[in-house]
């Protein structure tokens, strides 16, 4: 069916947010034009299958949304061909494999550490709750006590967020860090048989072709121009300039591109907004993907690493998400290494991290002598996680205020500069589209 447009609507980005916006417009028979700089659709939800038959996503992607509408939309996209599984996560600290989350699963750790953690935790509970919390570090100490906070989440956080807990706010926490009762901490120190309490309990993952398959429904009937990098925006004349020299007009603009980059391509941005946009920080993630001739690598879907001398912060095992992510009898490992321009710049070429990753996989026992490495790849994600440093909130308010004034609807993880999961990015795109529709 040919749909008619009331207005010329442009969307920058074909990731979850851009497609969420396009989906909402489509529900009202409006067809926007989507522009994406990449030669492929999907942004961070893209997946790649190599010539050996290994499929890797752009970072470990599982859908754990509790939103039934989104669950149904995603399921419909893959004709209900998805795998539904209980999420298994574990932790590695100084030679110990620990069930997730560590705070409820201290069993097997050194006795003096356990005693110190429990003593601190009792003290924290005995205190009243009115202590002033001015950063993530305060929150961790007030929640778990000093020993646990400093040994586990502060160490992991510095490796994942690339900055220290005392330089971070707490407005991103949500359900991410579980606060146990004293009984749970004590029980977890006495037995390995504990309840599963992580906020991600179950997940769904497409059976075939990786996470990107969840986009199938949303890319039907869209007008998407790939290889179209927007590099100039003239808001007065409502014009987009592209890197190939093309110029297109728009009546309404929805953008899911990263805010600092967006600000840098708009004509005539005030100095204070430019300055604020430069304070917004995101981590980069270097993915090292490895395929080997063995599938019994790990029981977990995801493993968190706390030790500073390990090059990676997190591991996942794509063949555990779907058997079709690796050739029969083979297994795959995806290592995540975090950097940021603001706090921890990348020091070497991406490929130079492959061997250190393999060395550390051998050191922790996940890879072993005799494993045959079939494939390796290093892939750098320029924008991974938004860093909730203490500069973020004020800088973001300045940038968002300006973008509202010039009538650009921003959405998604990098357009709203938040810790959005795929479902939230999609809904953020829908909301941006709704604002445009309301104004039409």
Residues in contact with ligand FAD by the rule CB under 6 A: 12-18, 35-38, 43-45, 59-63, 228-230, 256-257, 261, 285, 381, 384, 412-414, 420-422, 425
Nearest residue (CB) to ligand FAD, 97 versus 421:
421
Nearest approach, Cβ of residue 3 and ligand FAD (Å): 23
The angle at the Cα of 130, spanning 126 to 131, to the nearest 5 degrees, equals 85
Q: How many CB atoms lie within 10 A of CB 48?
A: 16
Nearest approach, Cβ of residue 372 and ligand FAD (Å): 27
Nearest residue (CB) to ligand FAD, 87 versus 109:
87
Dihedral sign (CA 114, 120, 123, 124): negative
Nearest approach, Cβ of residue 138 and ligand FAD (Å): 27
Contact 215, 40 (CB under 8 A): no
Nearest residue (CB) to ligand FAD, 261 versus 407:
261
Of 342, 432, 349, the closest CA to residue 162 belongs to 342
Nearest residue (CB) to ligand FAD, 363 versus 379:
379
Contact 291, 326 (CB under 8 A): yes
- Dist CA 312 CA 352 (whole Å): 13
Nearest residue (CB) to ligand FAD, 60 versus 210:
60
Partners of 211 in the beta sheet?
none
Nearest residue (CB) to ligand FAD, 104 versus 282:
282
Nearest approach, Cβ of residue 125 and ligand FAD (Å): 33
- Dist CA 434 CA 23 (whole Å): 11
Nearest residue (CB) to ligand FAD, 114 versus 285:
285
Nearest approach, Cβ of residue 37 and ligand FAD (Å): 4
Nearest approach, Cβ of residue 58 and ligand FAD (Å): 7
Please name the residue that has the structure tokens 């606060």.
Answer: 179
Nearest residue (CB) to ligand FAD, 197 versus 265:
265
Nearest approach, Cβ of residue 240 and ligand FAD (Å): 9
The CA–CA distances, whole Å, from 174 to 100, 179, 311, 381, 396 equal 17, 11, 28, 25, 19
Locate the DSSP E strands across 235-277. 239-242, 247-249, 252-255
- Dist CA 326 CA 54 (whole Å): 4
Structure tokens at 138: 């305060």
Structure tokens at 431: 């909301």
The most distant pair of C-alpha atoms in the chain lies apart, rounded to whole Å, by 70
Nearest approach, Cβ of residue 361 and ligand FAD (Å): 18
Nearest approach, Cβ of residue 259 and ligand FAD (Å): 11
The CA–CA distances, whole Å, from 438 to 24, 29, 431, 432, 435 equal 12, 14, 10, 10, 5
Nearest residue (CB) to ligand FAD, 149 versus 285:
285
Please name the residue that has the structure tokens 């009898």.
Answer: 329
- Rounded to a whole number of angstroms, the CA Rg of the chain reads 23
């Amino acid at each position: 069916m040919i749909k008619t447009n009331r207005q010329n609507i442009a969307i920058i980005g074909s990731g979850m947010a851009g497609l969420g916006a396009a989906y909402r417009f489509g529900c009202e028979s409006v067809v926007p034009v989507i522009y994406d700089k990449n030669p492929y659709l999907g942004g961070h939800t893209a997946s790649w299958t190599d010539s050996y038959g290994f499929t890797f996503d752009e970072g470990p992607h599982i859908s754990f949304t509790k939103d039934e509408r989104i669950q149904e939309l995603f399921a419909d996209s893959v004709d209900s061909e998805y795998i539904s599984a209980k999420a298994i996560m574990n932790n590695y600290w100084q030679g110990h494999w620990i069930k997730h989350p560590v705070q409820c699963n201290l069993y097997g750790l050194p006795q003096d550490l356990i005693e110190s953690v429990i003593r601190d935790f009792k003290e924290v509970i005995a205190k009243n709750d009115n202590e002033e919390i001015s950063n993530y570090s305060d929150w961790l100490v007030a929640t778990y006590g000093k020993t646990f906070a400093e040994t586990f989440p502060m160490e992991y956080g510095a490796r994942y967020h690339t900055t220290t807990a005392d330089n971070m706010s707490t407005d991103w926490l949500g359900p991410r860090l579980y606060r146990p009762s004293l009984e749970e901490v004590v029980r977890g120190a006495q037995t390995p048989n504990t309840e599963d309490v992580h906020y991600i309990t179950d997940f769904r993952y497409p059976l075939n072709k990786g996470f990107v398959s969840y986009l199938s429904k949303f890319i039907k009937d869209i007008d998407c121009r790939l290889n179209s990098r927007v590099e100039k925006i003239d808001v007065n004349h409502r014009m987009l300039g592209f890197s190939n020299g093309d110029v297109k007009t728009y009546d309404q603009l929805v953008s899911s591109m990263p805010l600092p980059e967006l600000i840098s391509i708009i004509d005539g941005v005030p100095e204070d907004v430019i300055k604020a946009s430069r304070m917004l920080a995101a981590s980069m993630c270097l993915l090292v993907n490895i395929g080997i001739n063995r599938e019994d690598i790990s029981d977990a879907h995801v493993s968190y690493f706390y030790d500073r001398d390990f090059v990676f912060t997190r591991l996942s095992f794509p063949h555990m998400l779907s058997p079709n992510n690796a050739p029969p009898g083979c297994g795959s490992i995806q290592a995540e290494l975090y950097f940021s321009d603001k706090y921890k710049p990348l020091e070497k070429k991406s490929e130079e991290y492959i061997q250190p990753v393999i060395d550390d996989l051998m050191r922790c026992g996940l890879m072993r002598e005799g494993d045959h490495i079939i494939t390796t790849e290093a892939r750098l994600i320029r924008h991974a996680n938004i860093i909730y440093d203490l500069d973020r909130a004020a800088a973001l308010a300045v940038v968002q205020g300006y973008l509202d004034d010039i009538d650009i609807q921003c959405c998604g993880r990098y357009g709203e500069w938040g810790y959005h999961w795929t479902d939230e990015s999609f809904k953020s795109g829908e909301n941006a589209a709704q604002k445009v529709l309301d104004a039409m």
